[in-house]
C-alpha cells in the first residue's frame, strides 16, 4: 500500500466520503421509493369500498329521517284526522260507489231495451265446444254458491232446471252485470237470500257469454248460446243497483 495513504487523516476523510456517498444513494432510493409508493389494497378492500359509500349514504338518510319517537307521537294524530275525515268516493268504471252521484244517475236512467237481445236466436245452432270449455272455467266462481252441478245450495238457488237460466237471455246478462236481489221464484220455490247475488261485471263480454252459454247447456239444461255482442249491448247496466225479479222479463 502506498505509505502516503497510510495516513490517519486521509483514511478518516475517505471513510466519511464513503459514508456520504452511501447516504446520497440511500436518499435517492428513498425518494424513488416514495414517489412510487401506493397503498397496498387487497381485493377485500376493493370489494368493501362500495359498502362504505352506501353505509355513509344510509347514515345521512337516517339522520335526516323522523325518529321512532316522532313517528310514534304522530300515529294518534294521523289516526284522529283519519277518523274525523269523511270518506271520499273514488270511482272507476268497474266499481261504482253506492249512493254516489254516478250511482244515483244510473239508478234514475231509463230501463234498457232488452227486445233486441231477446229476439229469438236460432235455438238449434250448434254450441261451440271452445265456448263451453271457457264457460266451465268461469263457472267455478258460480259453483261456490250455486253448487258444482248447479244443484243450488243454502246460499243460492239452483241453476239446473231453472226457468230463468233457460229463459230470456237479457235477464241472465243483467243478473251478471248488476247482481240480483230477491225474492225470486225458481222451480216453484221462493228464494230471498240476504244480500242477494253480487254483480259479476268484472268478467269480459266473452266470459259472460261463455258462462251463460255453459249454464244454459249443462246440468240437463238446453237453450240457445249467448253471444258477446248481446252482453256488450247491455253493458250500460253496470253500476245500477242489483236487479230485482220484478224488473226482469218473466221467463
Ligand atoms: C256469492 C254467491 C253467488 C255467486 C258466486 C253467484 N251467484 Fe248467482 N245467485 C246467488 C243468489 C243468492 C241468487 C238469488 C238471489 C236472492 O235470493 O236474493 C242468485 C241467482 C242467480 C240466478 C237466477 C236464479 C236462478 O237460480 O236461476 C242466476 C241465473 C245466477 N244466479 C247465475 C249465476 C252465475 C252464472 C254465476 C257465476 C258467474 C253466479 N250466479 C254466481 C248467489 C251467487
Q: What is the pLDDT along the chain (251 residues), one digit of tens a residue?
A: 566 667 888 889 999 999 999 999 999 999 999 988 877 778 888 889 999 999 999 999 888 887 888 888 888 888 888 888 776 655 555 567 778 888 788 878 888 888 888 876 665 678 999 999 999 999 999 999 999 999 999 999 999 999 999 999 999 999 999 999 989 999 999 999 999 999 999 899 999 999 999 999 999 999 999 999 999 999 989 888 899 999 999 99
Q: From ligand 1's centre to the CA of 128, what distance in Å?
A: 24
Q: Which three cell numbers stand for residue 119?
A: 229476439
Please report the pLDDT score of residue 93 as a whole number.
Answer: 55
Please report the pLDDT score of residue 37 as a whole number.
Answer: 83
- In the numeric block, the cell 225470486 is attached to 184
Please report the pLDDT score of residue 62 as a whole number.
Answer: 86
CB 16 within 8 A of CB 24: no
Please report the pLDDT score of residue 240 as a whole number.
Answer: 86
Task: Give CA separation, 243 vs 91, 172, 247, in Å.
Answer: 21, 11, 7
Q: From ligand 1's centre to the CA of 135, what distance in Å?
A: 15
Task: Give CA separation, 159 vs 29, 41, 58, 148, 212, in Å.
Answer: 100, 78, 61, 10, 11
Reference 208, options 237, 185, 182; nearest CA is: 237
Tell me the C-alpha distance between 46 and 76, whole Å.
47
Please report the pLDDT score of residue 151 as a whole number.
Answer: 95
Q: Which three cell numbers stand for residue 59?
A: 347514515
Close Cβ partners of 182 (under 8 Å, ≥ 6 residues apart)? 190, 191, 192, 193, 196, 244, 245
- Atom from ligand 1 closest to the CA of residue 181: 18
Q: Which three cell numbers stand for residue 195?
A: 244480500
Please report the pLDDT score of residue 189 as a whole number.
Answer: 96
Please report the pLDDT score of residue 118 as a whole number.
Answer: 86
pTM metric for this prediction: 0.67
Tell me the C-alpha distance between 33 and 29, whole Å.
6
Q: Which residues line ligand 1 (CB under 6 A)?
A: 141-142, 144-146, 155-159, 162, 164-165, 172, 175, 180-182, 184, 186, 191-193, 196-197, 200, 211, 215
What CATH superfamily classification does 108-247 receive? Cytochrome c-like domain (1.10.760.10)
Q: ∠ CA(247), CA(215), CA(120), 5° rounding? A: 60
- Atom from ligand 1 closest to the CA of residue 212: 35
- Longest C-alpha distance within the chain, in Å? 147
> Ligand 1 pocket: which of 142, 166, 202, 205 to mutate (most atoms <8 Å of CB)?
142
Parallel, antiparallel or unpaired: strands 184-186 and 189-191: antiparallel
Q: From ligand 1's centre to the CA of 101, what distance in Å?
A: 27
Minimum CA distance residue for ligand 1 atom 33: 142
Please report the pLDDT score of residue 1 as a whole number.
Answer: 54
Please report the pLDDT score of residue 120 as a whole number.
Answer: 64
User: What does the domain layout of the chain look like in residue ranges?
Assistant: 108-247
Amino acid at each position: 500500500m502506498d505509505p502516503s495513504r497510510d495516513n490517519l487523516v486521509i483514511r478518516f476523510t475517505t471513510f466519511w466520503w464513503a459514508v456520504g456517498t452511501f447516504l446520497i444513494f440511500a436518499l435517492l432510493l428513498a425518494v424513488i421509493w416514495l414517489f412510487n409508493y401506493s397503498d397496498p389494497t387487497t381485493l377485500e378492500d376493493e370489494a368493501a369500498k362500495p359498502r362504505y359509500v352506501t353505509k355513509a349514504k344510509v347514515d345521512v338518510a337516517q339522520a335526516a329521517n323522523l325518529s321512532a319517537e316522532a313517528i310514534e307521537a304522530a300515529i294518534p294524530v294521523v289516526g284522529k284526522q283519519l277518523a274525523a275525515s269523511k270518506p271520499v268516493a273514488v270511482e272507476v268504471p268497474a266499481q261504482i260507489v253506492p249512493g254516489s252521484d254516478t250511482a244515483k244517475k244510473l239508478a234514475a236512467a231509463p230501463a234498457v231495451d232488452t227486445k233486441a237481445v231477446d229476439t229469438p236466436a236460432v235455438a238449434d245452432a250448434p254450441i261451440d265446444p271452445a265456448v263451453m270449455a271457457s264457460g266451465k272455467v268461469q263457472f267455478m266462481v258460480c259453483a261456490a254458491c250455486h253448487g258444482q252441478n248447479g244443484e243450488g245450495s243454502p246460499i243460492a238457488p239452483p241453476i239446473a232446471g231453472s226457468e230463468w237460466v233457460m229463459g230470456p237471455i237479457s235477464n241472465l246478462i243483467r243478473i251478471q252485470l248488476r247482481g240480483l236481489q230477491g225474492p225470486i221464484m225458481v222451480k216453484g220455490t221462493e228464494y230471498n237470500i240476504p244480500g242477494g247475488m253480487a254483480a259479476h261485471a268484472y268478467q269480459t263480454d266473452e266470459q259472460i257469454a261463455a258462462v251463460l252459454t255453459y249454464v244454459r247447456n249443462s246440468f240437463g239444461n238446453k237453450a240457445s248460446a249467448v253471444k258477446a255482442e248481446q252482453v256488450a249491448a247491455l253493458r250500460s247496466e253496470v253500476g245500477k243497483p242489483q236487479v230485482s225479479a220484478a224488473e226482469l222479463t218473466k221467463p
